[in-house]
Amino acid sequence: MARWEPHARQRLADAALELFAERGYEETTVLDIARRAGLAKSTFFRHFQDKRGVLFAEDAPAGPLVAAIAAAPAQAGPLDAVEYGLDALGRDVFTADRRPFTLRRRAVIEAHPDLREREALKEAGLTAAMGRAIAGRGVPGLAARVTAELGGLALKAAYERWSDPAGTEDFGDIARQTLDEIRSAVAEVRG
């Protein structure tokens, strides 16, 4: 085994998603993943805690999202600040080169109830983080929570659209359009 392991993390992640698709998530072991990547099992554990970590530890969208919401111009309204946040995700996290990985990741998650639960918790965590960032801009209690729920929905819906195999648009463009549609929908449902 070479001691120099270029792109080990990405090779392990790609190997894992290949195997999850080929033989199923449950049936794939960490040893299988390391072998497919041509790396040692110990190398896997330097990069991930376990095989679920391949799907959930990779990106940390909360950081750039919260930072961009906080840094949005003072005159930006609550949902406008969310738009700055989603735009930052398109630049820093959901970049074009990450799209193939994301596509395969979603397919694995959709197929497993326990992974869908984990994904739902991650989404709830992102919504909560958005709520705190919006409240930090001086938006009062319930309005900050409304903004976070709508922002969380925008993020989820934009992520689904962006990871559609037929799509080609930037995440930022998709997110902006999704937020506009949510603004219109909100006017309809108020009743």
Segment near its own copies (CB under 8 A); pick from 33-41, 52-60, 104-112, 181-189: 181-189
Residue 77 binding its own copies, by CB under 8 A: yes
- Residue spans of alpha helices (H) in the chain: 8-23, 30-37, 41-47, 51-56, 62-71, 78-92, 99-110, 113-135, 141-162, 171-189
Residue 120 binding its own copies, by CB under 8 A: yes
Residue 135 binding its own copies, by CB under 8 A: no
Segment near its own copies (CB under 8 A); pick from 14-22, 87-95, 103-111, 140-148: 140-148
Asked if 143 and 78 count as a contact pair (C-beta separation under 8 A), the reply is yes
- Spatial CA neighbour of 147 closest among 77, 93, 90, 89: 77
Cα distance between residue 28 and residue 38, in whole Å: 15
Shorter beta-carbon distance to its own copies: residue 71 or 96: 71
Residue 147 CB burial class (10 angstroms; 0-12, 13-18, ≥19): buried
Query: Could you tell me the smallest distance in angstroms from the CB atom of residue 159 to its own copies?
Result: 13
> Which of the residues 1 through 20 are near its own copies (CB under 8 A)?
none
Residue 136 binding its own copies, by CB under 8 A: no
Asked if 29 and 67 count as a contact pair (C-beta separation under 8 A), the reply is no
> Considering Cα of 27, then 29, then 31, then 36, what sign does the dihedral take?
positive
With CB under 8 A as the contact rule, the residue among 18, 157, 167, 176 that binds its own copies is 157
Segment near its own copies (CB under 8 A); pick from 22-30, 38-46, 53-61, 150-158: 150-158
With CB under 8 A as the contact rule, the residue among 61, 64, 78, 172 that binds its own copies is 78
- Site residues (CB under 8 A) for its own copies? 76-80, 117, 120-121, 123-124, 139, 142-143, 145-147, 149-150, 152-153, 157, 178, 181-183, 185-191
